Amino acid sequence: MPPKQKNELYKESARKKDVRTSNIEAAKAVADAVRTSLGPRGMDKMVAAPNGEVIITNDGATILQKMTVTQPAAKMLVELSKSQDVVAGDGTTSVVVICGALLKKCQELLEKGVHPTIISDSFSKASAKACEILESIAIPVDMEDREALIRAANTSLSSKVVSQYSSLLSPMAVDAVLRVMDPARPNMLDLRDIKVVAKAGGTIDDSEMVDGMVFDQKAAKSAGGPTRMEDAKVGLIQFQISPPKTDIENNVVVSDYNQMDRIYKEERNYILSVVKKIKASGCNVLLIQKSILRDAVTDLALHYLAKAKIMVVRDIERDEIELISKTLGCLPIAHVDNMKPEKLGSAKLVEEVEVGKGRVVKITGIENKGRTATVLLRGSNKMVLEEADRSLHDALCVIRCLVNKRFLIAGGSSPEVQVSMQLAHWSKTLQGMESFCVRAFAEALEVVPYTLSENAGLNPINIVTELRKLHAAGEKYAGINVKKGCITNMLEGDVVQPLLVTTSAITLATECVRMILKIDDIVPTR
């Protein structure tokens, strides 16, 4: 018995239709909001937070996160871009734009009376097929091939404010990831091992990757302590150099003048003894963890430390301890009695350097350096700096994607056009509603080249049709060269991106669309 197509026509009740339409509309509105920031010629958004703070960014995930949306379906799109950020780190705008386009197609299909679950099932098949197609056009990449990695980072950076500095930032991102990566266990790559210190002043040109470690904090020199130390022995301490404090509440009872004097003296002696113990261990640079229970280090202690020619960096956050101990090869010390030479890390030079208006502490020439990297970012103002930070993060993620899945595909929307074309072709082999839905899916993917050319000020219809023609003629890598404003072979133009970014964008967007489609009611709850 053939399936009864006539029965599958779906009549929705008014309420269900309302809910679904409003969900789709809301999600589309979110997608439209970020649409114009796609691609190298995409525009930035200025987001003013309720507390008056302003950020300027091109990063889809950041824009959506700062936009406080309340509509449940719109929230799902925000979540979507966040998970793309987690998986691939890049393509956070594309994923939302694709999702919006798919939803628009869904609306058309629903109006024609296709049941939502049929759309949902066909879309999931289409997305699986799309990933297959992408894998078939992907080019394997070797981790040794630094140039290829840099090209991928370049593509990611090209849409950002900092694109003109991509020649500087891309190699930096590649080197940082390669340094952190453990060749034996490449899957354990953790981007938190890369420390990015952003410091205002100067231009992005002045950014550098430091062979060692940089602290945002100044060296404490109120008491005239040293700010430069050669052949440093670095101690990372978690105890405090301040008058003793017990966990039980205590009061010191002072009954006469003499006692007051004595307490004063005892405090000095106490601190002096601590400093002496530190000195005895051979330590000459101290990194002191922040403490909320009591002063991490008092002025008096600083004075003695300065006299003992020990350089001090204060206010190290507890989260950073692990990274520092990994980098310097030292162990955190939680009690002064445990100050032992073997727990210290050694470095050729620790010095405070002037960077723009501020100062940072640099540690270089570290012995037994762990697998970590530090990047010092510079920028003329806070907003540029923050955007540079986000862009660098994206670039790092791109490289990480390549470590996890070592394939590159062409950029400039050529994979989307290719997938769209092949899917449309595939849909002809299917039958019934499924074929119709897959066809719609293929058409929706064309939103990427369309938006890309629109944002670049080109004629989108011309470009998209031209691309279709070229791809149909077998030019698999033809894409939009936004800089030249024409269509070229993307591989020759060195526009490449990791496979994972595109596959995850398509699968995640599909998953999200399917979820939105399945909803037929919004129920208020407690």
Please give the positions annotated as active site. Answer: 59, 92-93, 394
Based on the shown chain and the rule CB under 8 A, indicate whether residue 16 belongs to the binding site for other proteins.
yes
Beta bridge partners, 23, equal none
Answer yes or no whether residue 258 interacts with other proteins by CB under 8 A. no
- Shortest Cβ 117–other proteins spacing (Å): 4
Question: Strand pairing partners for 350?
Answer: 229, 363
Q: Of these, 165, 215, 239, 426, which contacts other proteins (CB under 8 A)?
A: 239
CB 363 within 8 Å of CB 210: no
From residue 316, alpha-carbon distances to 217, 291, 397, 472 in Å are 8, 9, 26, 59
User: Judged by CB under 8 A, which stretch of 55-63, 256-264, 383-391, 435-443 contacts other proteins?
Assistant: 256-264
Among the residue ranges 152-160, 182-190, 414-422, 445-453, the one whose residues contact other proteins (CB under 8 A) = 182-190
Helix crossing, 166-180 with 382-404: angle to 10°? 50
CB of 452 to other proteins, least distance (A): 24
Residue 352: phi and psi, rounded to 5, are -95, 130
Instruction: Out of 263, 353, 461, 472, name the contact with other proteins by CB under 8 A.
Output: 263
Task: Choose between 30 and 80: whose C-beta lies nearer to other proteins.
Answer: 80
Contacts (CB under 8 A) with other proteins, residues 52-81: 70, 72-73, 75-76, 79-80
Between 51 and 246, CB nearer to other proteins? 246
**In the complex, least distance from residue 525 CB atom to other proteins, rounded to whole angstroms:** 4
The yes or no reply on residue 415 touching other proteins (CB under 8 A) is no
CB 458, min distance to other proteins, A:
32
Residue 191 binds other proteins, judged by CB under 8 A: yes
83 binds other proteins (CB under 8 A): yes
Q: Which of 25, 206, 211, 267: binder of other proteins (CB under 8 A)?
A: 267
Round to whole Å and give the CA distance between 520 and 318.
47
Structure tokens given for 500 = 């994972």
**Does 354 engage in binding with other proteins (CB under 8 A)?**
no
Residue closer to other proteins by CB (options 1, 14) is 1
Measured from the CB of residue 423, what is the shortest distance to other proteins in angstroms? 18
116 or 379: whose CB is closer to other proteins? Answer: 116
Give the contacts of 463 (CB within 8 A, at least 6 positions apart). Answer: 449, 450, 453, 480, 487
Q: Least distance to other proteins from the beta carbon of 477, Å?
A: 27
Among 276, 309, 428, 518, binds other proteins (CB under 8 A): 518
**Does 483 participate in binding other proteins (rule CB under 8 A)?**
no
**By the rule CB under 8 A, 371 interacts with other proteins:** no
Q: What H or E segment, with its residue span, contains residue 111?
A: helix 92-111
The yes or no reply on residue 22 touching other proteins (CB under 8 A) is: no
Q: Is 312 in the site for other proteins (CB under 8 A)?
A: no
Do 329 and 233 touch, CB atoms closer than 8 A?
Answer: no
Separation CA 126–CA 123 (nearest Å): 5
**Smallest separation, CB 189 to other proteins (Å):** 8
17 near other proteins, judged by CB under 8 A: no
Interaction residues for other proteins, span 88-127 (CB under 8 A):
115-117, 121, 124
Return the closest-CA partner of residue 84 out of 503, 482, 525, 519.
503
What are the phi and psi torsion angles at 235 (to 5°)?
Answer: -110, 130
Cβ neighbours of 44 (radius 10 Å): 18
CB closer to other proteins, 258 vs 429 = 258
3-class state of residue 74 by DSSP? helix
Interface pick for other proteins out of 43, 49, 86, 280 (rule CB under 8 A): 86
**Residue 294: which of 238, 222, 335, 245 has the closest Cα?**
245
The answer to whether the CB of 219 falls within 8 A of the CB of 330 is: no
Phi-psi region of 433 (alpha: psi -120 to 50; beta: other; left: phi over 0): alpha
Q: Does 295 sit near other proteins (CB under 8 A)?
A: no
Q: Is residue 317 a contact residue for other proteins (CB under 8 A)?
A: no
57 exposure class (CB count in 10 Å sphere: 0-12, 13-18, 19+): buried
Interface with other proteins (CB under 8 A), residue from 112, 228, 262, 469: 262
Could you tell me which stretch among 46-54, 237-245, 382-390, 422-430 binds other proteins (CB under 8 A)? 237-245
CA angle 117, 121, 122 (to 5 degrees): 115
Angle in degrees, 0-180, between the axes of helices 92-111 and 447-455, rounded to the nearest 10: 120
Question: Quick one: how far is CA 237 from the chain centroid?
Answer: 30
Bridge partners, 345 (sequence order):
234
Residues 6+ apart with CB under 8 A from 59: 92, 93, 160, 387, 390, 391, 394
Region near other proteins per CB under 8 A, out of 57-65, 140-148, 181-189, 482-490 = 181-189
CB of 432 to other proteins, least distance (A): 11
Nearer Cβ to other proteins, position 328 or 456? 328
